[in-house]
Structure 1
Amino acid sequence: MLVHHLKQSVMTPPNPATKQLHALLLQLSWLPTKVKLIITGAILTSFLILLTVIGLYYVYHQEKKKKESQGKIEKFLEDNKAFKPSRYSFADIKRTTNEFKDKLGQGGYGTVFKGRLSNDVLVAVKILNDSKGNGEEFINEVGSMSRIHHVNVTRLVGFCADGYKRALVYEYLPNESLEKFIFSAKGENHVLGWNKLQDIALGIAKGIEYLHQGCEQRILHFDIKPHNILLDQNFNPKISDFGLAKLCSKDQSAVSMTAARGTMGYIAPEVLSRNFGNVSYKSDVYSFGMLLLEMVGGRKNINVTVENTSQVYFPEWAYNHLDNGEETRIRIENESHSEIARKLTIVGLWCIQWYPVDRPSMKVVIQMLEGEADSLTKPPNPFGAADHMKMSAFKYKKPVNIELAVIAE
């Protein structure tokens, strides 16, 4: 009966190993029952041992991978200890965050908690997800931000690399992200006002220009968007979240990438397809242009909730209104506000030109933002009939964090 039961249990073998067991059991049908039981027991024992070995190998492989990741991070921290962000234990992190009681937000790479280093020093602590990457996000952020000292870039206070537990400690910015103000349906954008929006745009531009030209190595952010622009107590902007950043030399005209990185809706065309050109610092310029247009419109450039697709792509709508001499935002209180909105729109449209060579550098962008709107020339129309097919590849995408395979040249 046992042999018969075993035969039935493997009638539909799920893999080659059980197929072999099934065939072997069929060959035992002529033996005496006692011998069958002994042989069957030996076979099943061997089979279970094999499964155990496979399971142990998998666990060993995963642990080895984690140890290699940890070793890579420890070597990186040793090589970069001269840059002096403070190193904390995970016990320090728990104490700083009061056992993770005050959650500020959550993203694809981790959860952020409010913390306190002392009575006067508040911090934001990002606990990194263990499942994301091979420690690359941690290395990217510490490697980039430990070299940065700029008023428009979030300051890295310290980090934790306690075994497999990793965290990043930043200065605390009480007004949270720009996204909260420009996309609110409750009118929080009125708190900022047009003059403040212009100051924020200029501050972000100066921060990006510093990343591109002011550091020993050029830092490409690859995820410029309202959610990653934090505001201090005076609403001064600071660029944050360097998890997707890449470092390269300043004389390097192009960056090699094996996969696209960023948030759909802000990713430059060349990051997705080399048919548009090489990936470079101009990719951040494109993302900044999209951010500017969202600040002007008070809405996301890509709105997947709109049913009529003719209403979806705001940059095209903004260009058409600019071309016709019409306003690009309803909330215009006086002529000076109208000029600011017009200036931000023109600069934004220059930044989102399809080909990198047609976009200005951030240094030129700063000059444009500091100048008068009347001195700016209208950019070429990136939404003409010849570019319709190119544009359609990017217009109606849901804005989510992605890692995409790059289309080959």
Structure 2
Amino acid sequence: MESLEDPYNYLASTWNFNNNTEGFICKFNGVECWHPDENRVLNLKLSNMGLKGEFPRGLRNCSSLTGLDLSVNQIRGPIPSDISNILTYATSLDLSSNKFSGDIPTSLANCTYLNRLKLDDNMLSGEIPPEFAWHMRLRTLSLTNNELSGPVPNFNYSSVSVSYGNNRGLCGGPSLLPCSSHKHLHLHLHLTFKVALLLAFLLSFLCVLVYTMCCRSSSRTRTRMKPAKFNHQDYTFKYVCSLIRWKMRPLVYYIRQLLPLHLQLNGTQQIALIMERLTSTMNLEELNDATESFSIDNAIGVGKMGITYEGVLSNGFHLAVKRLSDPQLFERQVLLEIRILRNIQHRNIVPLLGFCVENNERILVYQYASNGRLSKWLHPVEAEPMILTWPQRIKIALGVARALSWLHHTCNLHIVHLNVSSECVLLDEIFEPKLSNFGEAKFMNPNKHDDLGMSFYVEDGKKDVYDLGSVLLELVTGKTLKELVCLCDNADFSGDPSIIYDAVDKSLIGKGFENEVFTLIKVACECIQAIPDERPTMLQVYNNMSNVWGERHGVIDDSDMLATGLEIVSATEIVEL
């Protein structure tokens, strides 16, 4: 293990080779032996220890080793080409979540006892060795989130579980383009990239030109008047350049629309193919019964994708059933919601209980939130006056910030919502907020790709920060950001905050919460800065809010204790807990 650095001394604390007694190795951290009194190593479990360096070739001395787990470390370089000689008897090998690069060595297929191989979340390139398809004992092969390319071997999927998502260059496997079409697509993507590069150069030139003009204008102005306190040309330059930089990152994604129509249709057909292969977890008949044949009397919300109905199962369990009005138009959004919500679980994110894909029906089933959308409470109709108390508003603000911070910084998918508003915040019976509507969401990780091989080029979450600021202001004032466009520019928070009394919801005045109200306005105004670089990260926003209000209002953050996986269940399995 000399090739590995141990910065946190997880190994050094117990790995002492000065002891010559029989079985002393078995007491090392991460070591499992065939027998505690013998120095024959059975498994090495060194996951998440911060280890750095290259693959430890010294493992060849562990001639009886059957299991090796080096996942979630910082091991880089190639996987040894003679790894079958190093791990002759390995049955399980986990090298996931490291920085391994280069090709997958063909000799891995010569580890004839291997039945579990995990190489996901690395930087591996080249093709998947076709010999893997002939491996007699292999049962699990995970290759997701790498840079692999070429045809997928013809696996027997009934006997081996293979995952290879988010490798933009792969083709030929289930849910992938045929290899001939894939090569054609990448040729056009290469041309598209050149167009994007040219546009980037032109926009960069424009940025420099604007700066030069601003500087000349400033120079002429200084000869006629005293320097101003506020440097307008610097701010203008920062704003223009920031705008250009933030818009350039998703440019390649948008330029995809320049592709020939038949290639765009290939993408649409690919999504339709995936949808057809999805196995419904709830059947149409039971959802029809639960919603009384989708009666308009059971409708609880209307959105651009369709109508959401309240449903009640025979066991009394309440559901929110979203039925798409135009399934073909929103199939990508449905697929994204299923893929995201079936793999995450958080107390401030609405649970997806199941879905139905039958004929032309596309239906998503969520946990029912009895208090409905936040927008209903902030903009009630006159006939139904509805008032949120300040503690309830703080609870909602913290919950939404917690969900977004978790999505950005803790969740292993690193998701950007991109559609945050009071319309997509649902409230349960105790006014705990549940973030919904993930149909526009994207992945922050640049290694994540969609099914068309296109990267999700997105900002680093600053769009969500801006949208959260808008929701916070709406919570305080009951008005949308468009109605409050001048609020932050005119408010002097270092002086008398009474200048914005007229904007604050009247139900909050005189209750002793004025200082807290204006503190939340400050947080909101930091979030809606015009220049994205000047906005805080979502984690900074949440930590700031939690430090101010978490203990005061009895809000405990246990989001890091929640699991990231969620199983989709059938209607018959949903019971009251």
TM-score (norm 2): 0.44
Whether the 8 Å contact between 1:222 and 1:245 is mirrored in structure 2 is: yes
Counterpart residue number, 2:274: 72
Match runs of 1:253-264 below 5 Å? none
Q: Indicate yes or no: 2:170 matched with 1:170.
A: no
Whether the 8 Å contact between 2:306 and 2:324 is mirrored in structure 1 is: yes
Q: Indicate yes or no: 2:344 matched with 1:148.
A: yes
Q: Considering Cα pairs closer than 8 Å and 6+ residues apart, tell me whether 1 or 2 has the greater RCO.
A: 1
Instruction: Kindly state the Cα deviation for residue 282 of structure 1 after the two structures are TM-superposed.
Output: 1.4
CA distance in 1: counterparts of 2:307 and 2:379, whole angstroms:
22
Counterpart residue number, 2:292: 98
Match runs of 1:179-198 below 5 Å? 179-184=375-380, 186=382, 191-198=387-394
Q: Taking structure 1 as reference, are residues 91 and 338 closer, same or farther at Cα in structure 2, changes over 3 Å only? A: same
Q: Indicate yes or no: 2:481 matched with 1:295.
A: no
Instruction: Kindly state the Cα deviation for residue 186 of structure 1 after the two structures are TM-superposed.
Output: 4.1
Counterpart residue number, 2:259: none
Counterpart residue number, 2:314: 118
Q: Indicate yes or no: 2:506 matched with 1:326.
A: no
Provide Cα deviations, 1:6-47, integer angstroms capped at 9, x if missing partner. xxxxxxxxxxxxxxxxxxxxxxxxxxxxxxxxxxxxxxxxxx
CA distance in 2: counterparts of 1:240 and 1:138, whole angstroms:
13
Whether the 8 Å contact between 1:69 and 1:134 is mirrored in structure 2 is: no
Instruction: Kindly state the Cα deviation for residue 134 of structure 1 after the two structures are TM-superposed.
Output: 5.8
Q: Taking structure 1 as reference, are residues 188 and 247 closer, same or farther at Cα in structure 2, changes over 3 Å only? A: farther
CA distance in 2: counterparts of 1:332 and 1:180, whole angstroms:
18
CA distance in 1: counterparts of 2:491 and 2:345, whole angstroms:
40
Q: Taking structure 1 as reference, are residues 346 and 64 closer, same or farther at Cα in structure 2, changes over 3 Å only? A: closer
Whether the 8 Å contact between 1:111 and 1:127 is mirrored in structure 2 is: yes
Whether the 8 Å contact between 1:256 and 1:279 is mirrored in structure 2 is: no
Q: Taking structure 1 as reference, are residues 113 and 156 closer, same or farther at Cα in structure 2, changes over 3 Å only? A: same
Counterpart residue number, 2:538: 362
Amino acid at match of 1:292: L
CA distance in 1: counterparts of 2:294 and 2:466, whole angstroms:
37
Amino acid at match of 1:217: L
Provide Cα deviations, 1:225-250, integer angstroms capped at 9, x if missing partner. 00100000011111011111113428
Instruction: Kindly state the Cα deviation for residue 70 of structure 1 after the two structures are TM-superposed.
Output: 3.3
Provide Cα deviations, 1:109-166, integer angstroms capped at 9, x if missing partner. 1111111233331000000122553610111110111112111010000000112211
Q: Taking structure 1 as reference, are residues 117 and 332 closer, same or farther at Cα in structure 2, changes over 3 Å only? A: closer
Match runs of 1:213-228 below 5 Å? 213-228=409-424
Counterpart residue number, 1:4: none
Instruction: Kindly state the Cα deviation for residue 68 of structure 1 after the two structures are TM-superposed.
Output: 5.3
Q: Among the aligned pairs, what percent are the same residue?
A: 29
Whether the 8 Å contact between 2:444 and 2:460 is mirrored in structure 1 is: no
Whether the 8 Å contact between 2:444 and 2:459 is mirrored in structure 1 is: no
Whether the 8 Å contact between 1:147 and 1:215 is mirrored in structure 2 is: no
More helix by share: 1
Q: Taking structure 1 as reference, are residues 361 and 105 closer, same or farther at Cα in structure 2, changes over 3 Å only? A: same
CA distance in 1: counterparts of 2:447 and 2:514, whole angstroms:
39
Q: Taking structure 1 as reference, are residues 122 and 162 closer, same or farther at Cα in structure 2, changes over 3 Å only? A: same
Counterpart residue number, 1:376: none
Secondary structure, counterpart of 2:371 in structure 1 = coil
Counterpart residue number, 1:406: none
Instruction: Kindly state the Cα deviation for residue 73 of structure 1 after the two structures are TM-superposed.
Output: 1.4
CA distance in 2: counterparts of 1:219 and 1:153, whole angstroms:
12
1:88 pairs, out of 278, 282, 289, with 282
Is 136-145 or 111-120 further displaced after alignment? 111-120
CA distance in 2: counterparts of 1:130 and 1:69, whole angstroms:
15
Instruction: Kindly state the Cα deviation for residue 294 of structure 1 after the two structures are TM-superposed.
Output: 1.1
Instruction: Kindly state the Cα deviation for residue 220 of structure 1 after the two structures are TM-superposed.
Output: 1.1
Amino acid at match of 2:368: Y
Stretches of structure 2 that go unaligned for 5 or more consecutive residues are 1-264, 449-453, 550-577
